[in-house]
């Protein structure tokens, strides 16, 4: 097996080949990746283009209904966005995106938020640091001004 045959293999196959425990799960996929056919890719592109058109139709509806009540105009945009999202969901990248969004929401629910006391303490420390840094920079600026203008250049402020 030469270097040419290694470069043409998928990452998953290379990882499985080198894995000391190929049956152990983790980051190595247990099933091979599914490849889309050209027809599937074209169908996905068509569906995505249709989703963009639906979105544009919703925005256009907002402007075309300029004489109508604002609720109807906003409803036109919401319907366009909803139909566009539904159409995009039918594509493979759309399904992956919505799965990612669902997993992100699940992970965000696992976040442990600080208590009010911890938040106030952290805010106080940040405020104290900012004030200290401002004083330090002001002192540094005034010291350099005094050294340069008064001592080195001999310019006196009148």
Q: Tens digit of pLDDT for each residue in 125-145?
A: 999 999 999 999 999 999 999
Q: Give the largest Cα separation in the chain, rounded.
A: 84
Enumerate the domain spans of the chain: 35-109, 131-158
| pLDDT tens by residue, 71-104 | 999 999 999 999 999 998 888 888 898 899 999 9
Average pLDDT for 59-76: 92
Please provide the average confidence, as pLDDT, over all residues in the chain. 82
Average pLDDT for 19-26: 51
pLDDT at 51: 92
Q: Give Cα 15 to chain centroid, integer Å.
A: 28
Q: Give Cα 99 to chain centroid, integer Å.
A: 15
pLDDT at 94: 86
């Amino acid at each position: 097996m030469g270097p040419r045959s290694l470069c043409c293999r998928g990452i998953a196959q290379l990882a499985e080949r080198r894995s000391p425990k190929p049956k152990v799960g983790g980051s190595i996929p247990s099933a091979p990746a599914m490849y889309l056919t050209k027809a599937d890719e074209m169908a996905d592109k068509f569906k995505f283009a249709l989703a963009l058109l639906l979105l544009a139709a919703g925005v256009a509806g907002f402007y075309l209904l300029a004489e109508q009540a604002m609720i109807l105009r906003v409803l036109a945009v919401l319907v366009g966005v909803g139909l566009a999202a539904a159409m995009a969901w039918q594509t493979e990248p759309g399904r992956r995106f919505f799965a990612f969004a669902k997993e992100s929401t699940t992970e965000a629910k696992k976040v442990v938020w600080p208590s009010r006391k911890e938040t106030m303490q952290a805010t106080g420390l940040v405020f104290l640091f900012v004030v200290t840094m401002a004083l330090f920079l002001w002192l540094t600026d005034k010291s350099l001004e005094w050294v340069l203008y008064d001592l080195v250049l001999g310019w006196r402020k009148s």
